[in-house]
Structure 1
Amino acid sequence: MLMKILILILISLIIQGCDQPANEIKELNLHKHIEILASDEFEGRGPGSAGGEKTKLYLKEEFKKMGLPSIKGDYYLEVPLSKMTVDLNSSFLSISKNGKARILEAGPETVYWTKRVVEGVSVRASELVFVGYGIVAPEYGWNDYKNLDVKGKTAVMLINDPGFWTEDPKLFNGKSMTYYGRWTYKFEEAARQGAEAVLIIHDTAPAAYPWQVVETSWAGKQIDLKREDMGRSRVKVEGWITSGVAEDIFGQANLDLKGLKQAALKADFQSVEMTGLTLDAALNNKVEFSISHNVAAVKNGYKKPNEYILLMAHWDHLGIKEDQSGDNIYNGAVDNASGTAGLLELANYFSKVESERSLLFLAVTAEESGLLGSQYFAEYPPIDLSNIVAGYNFDGVLPVGKTRDVIVVGYGASELEDILKAELDKVGKYIVPDPQPEKGFFYRSDHISFAKKGVPMLYADGGFDKIEGGKEAGRAFADEYTAKYYHQPSDEYDSNWDLSGFADQLTLTTKMVKYLADSDRWPEWYEGNEFKSIREESRK
């Protein structure tokens, strides 16, 4: 009789176990979140827009349904923003040669704006000067502004850094873009030098995207953090010009642009006055202020609750371009409804898992405007950043399907790569270093805001070595996305997407995170990494 009772109890337990769904990453959930977040109802998820408000509420309600508490008593973490929209009907930018003006057409020839929070900005007869790459890097013995007083002048410069063309690993990290190659740095440095305006010459290869991306990304409303000086420390006018326009105006100044590009690859390059050329501009702005929010939730650790593993993605995209005809909703399905969906699914998974350390799930705002949400969190953190053990960022995950590899953007950075390799070895996959380091992807997503504070971050992406089709098919898939869909209204969700590879990537992430969350390990930056000393100082 006792034996029968024990057997019945065992059968009952087995049945109960079968009734409980396994805790695993579910591809179906990824589809659900992406379809909702990238729908027209969410209007492209622009910060400060109705669609942005819907997005924040969706994230908050999802975290609440999972039973995950907020951090510091509120799921919404304020990010104060200023927004400036140039009225192109009453604004202009022109280049003059000996008093004869050529007004550049906004969109096809130039994109311009101001980060100064004012209703009007004007520049009059500002002399043009070519400053090479516009870089000051003492560690490389490099100063493109040497022997130059650029105050009141317009600095004209090249995109990326010299290493892109020389491929010399001792010069700006060779083909791999450094922060000096980013457009954000170039505007900041020109402002420090006292320039009145800046024009960056677009070139598709070193920029890593075609002109249409510049045109759609920087046209219309410009968002910035609401800074104490209201942007007065920025140059008056920031802008891009096409390579065709650049060739024309250099020709007008009797300058050989091709030859100057070669000269700019050497540290002894000296800036060149573009004799006879001046810039005039008048920008009339609509100025607005708003509060956007990062949205955060936490799974508290039971042993070391003040130590955190960070999982993050940006929730915003480009919103609606109201002055654009046709389809003007930039839905951002890949960029970055995909990463946001992955963050939510990781939160869902870990809501049912206990760990020694805490897990912080962070969806940041205003990435598309210059990583503003993550920058604000890192500058005004609600927790001590030195207590973040490590972080994982998800941004623009392509629905490429199952692959044999995982791409590590910014490869060779930290011991997080060792942890990743250990997990990949178990399933027969392999790491591929960033195949396009010249595009600077490591500096173009939100993890960099934390890396600059010393936090080891991993930005890994699904690979290109497709199980069905191999590397050629995977590369073609990625190239098609960049050419046709990146930062375009066509970046829309398709129910036929194969998200199985993304689900695999998230499953690997759960294993890495669980390992760190239940250990005493503090991953370190590799020796020689630019962020290693920052981390060591913060941990003292």
Structure 2
Amino acid sequence: MDMPRSFAIASAVLMLSACASGGHAIDARTAAWWATTAALSGDDMEGRDTGSPGYDRAAAYVAERFRRAGLRPAGDAGTYFQRIRFDEIEVANEGTSFSVQRATGDRRPLRFLHEISVTPTWGMPARIDAPLVFRGFCAPSDMTGVRGAVVACFGTRRTGQPLFAAQMEAATAAGAVAMVRVDDTGFTIEPPRWPLAYARNVVLADGSPRPRTIPSLRLAATTFAEIANASGHDGGDILARGARGEAMAPFDFPARFEASIVTRERSSTSDNVLAVLPGTDPALANEPVLLIAHLDGYGRGTPVNGDGLYNGALDDAAYVATLIAFAETRAGRGFRRPVIFAAVTAEEKGLLGSRWLAAHPTPAASTPVAVLNLDQLRPLYPLKILTTLALEDSTLGQTVRDVAGPMGITVRADLEPERGLLRRTDHWPFMRIGVPAVSFLFGFDAADADAAAAYRAWYENRYHAPQDDVSTPIDFQAQADFHRFYFALIEAVADADAKPSWAADSPHRPGANE
């Protein structure tokens, strides 16, 4: 059998890295971790999209690796799998079109998924034909004269300004037929990027009402500027004012927004992969610690530079691989508390796998007392700073400091709360039900130009793109250092006399008003 391309690339990267470090071999655990990452993000896994055959192959692979490492099944009916049912609606490329019809008679087509997209919802109209207006930040006080119109809003993500939900509420209340959010190019900590993989909405098929709203669209900033300029306004100045948080004068375009939207629906199933390392102290048997990482990716989508397969190597195959590496390191040797291993589905579709697990614990994977989440990690530069989400919310934060400090790792709270990372990854559903949790990012100081450049390059060129594959330049020593930290953290939490507790001033603690 020929070596898969992903393994070949991973091997080549390992050899090059060893040469670059003066010929020093990468340690065996890190090399095995990278080989597992390559296997999970290989082309044969097809990007592990929720509900796809490729995801099912990846889930079977993870379950087998858990079994071989001595973990016991913790899923449904004595298996490693927790089956979840989903409904989805997707906007089809074929037959879907967007354009701006100017008063002069010419039509400006808008390229779907490259400069405009729409979030599909059940009951969404198949056609839109309405005047186009701009209302700045789209606060309720801005929403005059928008009834029956498509309202364009500056897509701010900054605290203190109207965010998406508030803008949508204001647009709906004012009678707009659709809302278009214009990218904020000034939000450089996570810059907007195009194209998008697809326009898809996935929900749990649990009988809950399906979301129905006025259409919500997204428009590239450069496209908005072009349309505004053609209407006699300075699009660049408008965008610059919005990026600075300054008021933007409202205006009506001498144009109509037109759209034909073709949707298709389907139902699917996908599994969380659950395993458990039993505890050794019967008194702590009902206090499991949950290790979680998401197995799903984007699958196949809009090609970028000719590549339409979104392999998802660092997001998040690499950290499912970390769970496997830890299981193999333990080789069935337990801690005082049970440790649950969860490789969950549908994170990229709205944390659906972790939401299901939090609401439906299994007998062998009961509600945990702590969650140590792995996502958003990028070992692109040395591990000197570890940004820790929810650092001050529970005693877990001090445990993180106690473990990281002797290793020379500075622990830091999230310095970019506007990104909303706390709510964008799989520990959040557990925090919502009262479970203390932490999650991590490789941090850096602004003065560290190399780290800053590597971090920004990742978001601009690889994040949620086909280029997130094993060709990504990895700092393997940084990953080895993270493994050393994470494995020690698990031991500290799982063997502690007391379970983690919430900080009295945490806004996320049970009973707090958020």
Normalized against structure 1, the TM-score is what?
0.76
The one of 83, 87, 92 aligned to 1:87 = 92
Aligned-pair identity (%): 25
Tell me what 2:23 maps to: none
SS at match of 1:307: coil
Provide the residue aligned with 2:114 in structure 1.
Answer: 108
Amino acid at match of 1:458: V
Residues 53-97 of structure 1: per-residue CA shift (max 9 Å, x gap): 111111111111122222252321122222333233312233445
* Aligned equivalent of 1:369: 349
Superposed CA offset, 1:143-162 (max 9, x none): 64798797865443333444
1:188-231, Cα deviation, whole Å (9 max, x unpaired): 88679886433221123427444434x224x2554343363663
Q: Is 2:301 the partner of 1:329? A: no
Q: Is the 8 A contact 1:409 1:437 kept in 2?
A: no
Give the alignment of 1:386-535 within 5 angstroms: 387-400=367-380, 402-409=382-389, 411-464=391-444, 471-494=448-471, 497-534=474-511
**Corresponding position of 2:71:** 68
What's the CA shift for 1:451?
A: 2.2
Q: Does 2:232 match 1:226?
A: no
- What code does the residue aligned with 1:491 have? D
Q: Report if the CA contact (8 A) 1:195-1:235 is conserved.
A: no
Cα offsets for 1:317-363 (capped at 9, x unmatched): 11122777832211111111111111222233345332232211111
Stretches of structure 2 that go unaligned for 5 or more consecutive residues are: 1-26
Report the AA paired with residue 332 of structure 1. G
One-letter amino acid of the structure 1 residue matched with residue 51 of structure 2: G
Deviations 1:118-150 (A, max 9, x none): 6x732444455656556xxxxxxxx64798797
Q: In 2 relative to 1, CA 331–246 (structure 1 residues): closer, same or farther, beyond 3 Å?
A: same
Q: Which amino acid aligns with 2:266?
A: E
Where in structure 2 are the equivalents of 1:251-270 lying within 5 Å? none
Aligned to 1:285: 263
The alignment's C-alpha RMSD in Å is 3.9
Distance (whole Å) between structure 1 residues aligned to residue 373 and residue 317 of structure 2? 13
CA contact (8 A) 2:185 2:221 kept: no
CA contact (8 A) 1:131 1:156 kept: yes
SS in 2 for 1:388: coil
CA contact (8 A) 1:206 1:438 kept: no
Number of the residue aligned with 1:315: 295
Give the direction of change, closer, same or farther, for the CA distance of 1:275–1:39 in structure 2 (3 Å limit): closer
Question: In 1, Cα distance between the equivalents of 2:475 and 2:341?
Answer: 25
Contact preservation (8 Å) 1:308, 1:359: yes
Deviations, residues 100-124 of structure 1 (Å, cap 9, x unaligned): 55442213321224132x6x73244
Flag the 1:264–1:43 CA change in 2: closer, same or farther, 3 A.
Answer: closer
C-alpha separation in 1, matches of 2:129 and 2:328: 58
- Residue 199 of structure 1: which of 173, 177, 180 is its match? 180
CA distance in 2, matches of 1:208, 1:371: 22
- 1:240 to partner: Cα distance: 0.7
Query: Is 1:78 paired with 2:83?
Result: yes
Query: SS of the residue aligned with 2:179?
Result: strand
In the alignment, residue 480 of structure 1 is paired with which amino acid? A
Q: SS state of the match for residue 94, structure 1?
A: strand
2:228–2:253 Cα contact (<8 Å) kept: no
SS of residue in 1 equivalent to 2:85: strand
SS of 2:288's equivalent in the other structure is strand
Letter in 2 for 1:204: T
Change (3 A) 1:472 1:207: closer
1:391 and 1:151 map into 2 onto residues whose CA distance is 46
- 8 Å contact from structure 2 (residues 143, 174) kept in 1: no
TM-score by length of 2: 0.80
Which among 253, 275, 278 is matched to residue 297 of structure 1? 275
Q: 1:306 deviation in Å?
A: 1.9
Deviation per CA, 1:452-488, whole angstroms, max 9, x where unpaired? 333222112334479xxx9333222222222222222
Distance 1:86 1:161 in 2: 25
Residues 455 and 130 from structure 1, CA distance in 2 versus in 1: closer, same or farther, beyond 3 angstroms? farther
Superposed displacement of residue 493, structure 1? 1.0
Distance in 2, Cα, partners of 1:227 & 1:248: 44
CA distance in 1, matches of 2:165, 2:476: 33
Pairwise CA distance, 1:419: 0.7
Matched residues in 2 for 1:419 and 1:347: separation?
Answer: 21
Contact 2:290 2:339 in 1 (8 A): yes
In the alignment, the residues of structure 2 paired with residue 297 and residue 473 of structure 1 have an alpha-carbon distance, to the nearest angstrom, of 39
Do the aligned partners of residues 521 and 99 (structure 1) sit closer, same or farther apart at CA in structure 2, a change above 3 Å counting?
Answer: farther
AA aligned opposite 2:458: Y
Aligned to 1:340: 320
Partner-residue secondary structure (3-state), 2:287:
strand
Moved more, 452-461 or 98-107: 98-107
Alignment length (residue pairs) = 482
Residues 148 and 376 of structure 1: CA distance in aligned 2, closer, same or farther (over 3 Å): farther
